[in-house]
Structure 1
Amino acid sequence: MLSLNFSSFLLEVGTDEAGRGCIAGPVTAAAVILPAHFENSILNDSKQLTEKAREKLRPIIEEQAVSFAVTHLEPIIIDEINILNASIKAMQESILKLNPKPEYIIVDGNRFKPVLDIPYSCIIKGDAKFMCIAAASVLAKTYRDEYMNKIHEEFPMYNWKQNKGYPTQEHREAIRKYGVTKYHRMSFRLLPEQLKLDI
């Protein structure tokens, strides 16, 4: 069972990202403040949930949250500032969109940078420990999947609807055959060494 709160603050926000290990598409972060008496028996780290469960949870989180926000950061920014900084920036931007302003931040993972003057804690595997981080992981994942399904229509040959931009063998074969798009992260190793791409 996940815990509702880490701190004693009432307006505690959880934040998490999705798509960090992808070679195409944005890194997407979400931030969620849940009400004091929030309860949900199926909420968990989004990686532990089926797609169907995530889709079922998304409207529940959106309706019941005190506040939530989602941010996509495009490959051009990822390539410019690197994926770790882009992940942190996406989480920070999501937190800045919240109203009311949170009093405390809990972050999934071990790296973060301050937002305004709000105190924070980094929690390893926080998405499997605290409800507001798990809720953020569900929103980040569902919003990012939706984005990848949309850009799949533009470039169906990469099958982003299925692989969501992760470096599957099929995705890499398509890069080798068709080259790269504006949605690919040029700072990432898009192909294994033996399949160098001339760009």
Structure 2
Amino acid sequence: MALPLQAPGLVAGVDEAGRGPLAGPVVAAAVILDPRRRIRGIKDSKQLEAEEREELAIKIRGAALSWSVAWADVEEIDCHNILQATHLAMRRALIGLHIHPGHVQVDGNLCPSFIGLPMKCSYEAIVDGDALKTCIGAASILAKVARDRMMVELDALYPEYGFAAHKGYSTPQHYKALKRHGPTPIHRRSFEPVRLAGERRLTLADMGEMAPEAAVVAL
């Protein structure tokens, strides 16, 4: 395996998608853009329509000097918490770059721990970085597009939840499905709405195993 190239003059942008949803992984991307190949239209992925994100993602993957997408799954989110899982996904995305940058710009107010990463570079957290820095905006687009595709695939496994439409976020449709069907294996049980839905469903299931008169008393 070839060792990553060292490029001290280049900057990598890092961002995530999916910190807020009740279901699915949190996805991060790292991007090193080519200064000689400008891509018009890059900005915070939340400010773009889905079709625009898809088109820009193709351009970014084709023109970037290096890019990488990684994620932390639901088990890791529930085990560590969403912040630590997000940072884990960011670390994995950086490890996936085949070029080691001299500087890393991360969206937000806190950088993940870079202890043990196989690269020597400086790091910077930038609030609203996906709107202020093109490289972070590019990372936000790749992360969002990748996660949306994952949720569309998961929709085929759990069609009653509507993941293809809301991507796991808190919507009336999602809450209604949670209340009716309970959490799936891809729901974040450490998130309170999911936990409460699971507890309510378990309670009703337990009551169903009681003698009829006991169930009436319990209700």
TM-based fold match above 0.5: yes
Question: How far has the Cα of 1:168 moved from its partner?
Answer: 0.7
Residues 63-85 of structure 1 show CA distances to partners (whole Å, capped at 9, x for unaligned) of: 10110000121110000010001
Aligned pairs (5 A) from 1:95-174: 95-115=94-114, 116=117, 117-174=120-177
Higher helix share: 2
Q: Report the Cα distance in structure 2 between the residues aligned to 1:23 and 1:191, rounded to whole angstroms.
A: 7
Are positions 1:76 and 2:75 aligned together? yes
Q: Which has the larger displacement, 76-85 or 29-38?
A: 29-38
Q: Report the Cα distance in structure 2 between the residues aligned to 1:152 and 1:194, rounded to whole angstroms.
A: 19
**Residues 108, 124 of structure 1: 8 Å contact kept:** yes
**Residues 29, 90 of structure 1: 8 Å contact kept:** yes
* Aligned CA distance change for structure 1 residues 151 and 192 (closer, same or farther; 3 Å): closer
Residues 61-118 of structure 1 show CA distances to partners (whole Å, capped at 9, x for unaligned) of: 0010110000121110000010001111101110011111121100000111332342
Query: Which consecutive segments of 4 or more residues in structure 1 shift more than 6 A?
Result: 192-195
Q: For residue 162 of structure 1, give the secondary structure of its aligned residue in structure 2.
A: helix
Per the alignment, residue 189 of structure 2 pairs with 186
**Residues 15, 32 of structure 1: 8 Å contact kept:** yes
Question: How far has the Cα of 1:167 moved from its partner?
Answer: 1.1
**Residues 42, 138 of structure 2: 8 Å contact kept:** yes
Q: Which has the larger displacement, 40-49 or 61-70?
A: 40-49
Q: Report the Cα distance in structure 2 between the residues aligned to 1:41 and 1:67, rounded to whole angstroms.
A: 18
Aligned pairs (5 A) from 1:49-68: 49-68=48-67
RMSD over aligned Cα, in angstroms?
A: 1.7
Q: Which has the larger displacement, 30-39 or 12-21?
A: 30-39
Aligned-partner residue type, residue 74 of structure 1: D
Are positions 1:90 and 2:93 aligned together? no
**Residues 69, 98 of structure 1: 8 Å contact kept:** yes
Q: Which has the larger displacement, 58-67 or 34-43?
A: 34-43
**Residues 44, 131 of structure 2: 8 Å contact kept:** yes
Question: How far has the Cα of 1:196 moved from its partner?
Answer: 5.6
**Residues 167, 190 of structure 1: 8 Å contact kept:** no
Q: Report the Cα distance in structure 1 between the residues aligned to 2:54 and 2:81, rounded to whole angstroms.
A: 30
* Percent identity (aligned): 39
Q: Higher relative contact order by CA 8 Å / sep ≥ 6: 1 or 2?
A: 1
**Residues 183, 198 of structure 2: 8 Å contact kept:** no
**Residues 158, 174 of structure 1: 8 Å contact kept:** yes
* Aligned CA distance change for structure 1 residues 75 and 191 (closer, same or farther; 3 Å): closer
- The total of aligned residue pairs comes to 191
Aligned-partner residue type, residue 123 of structure 1: I
Per the alignment, residue 15 of structure 1 pairs with 14
* Aligned CA distance change for structure 1 residues 195 and 90 (closer, same or farther; 3 Å): closer
* Aligned CA distance change for structure 1 residues 192 and 87 (closer, same or farther; 3 Å): closer
Per the alignment, residue 34 of structure 2 pairs with 35
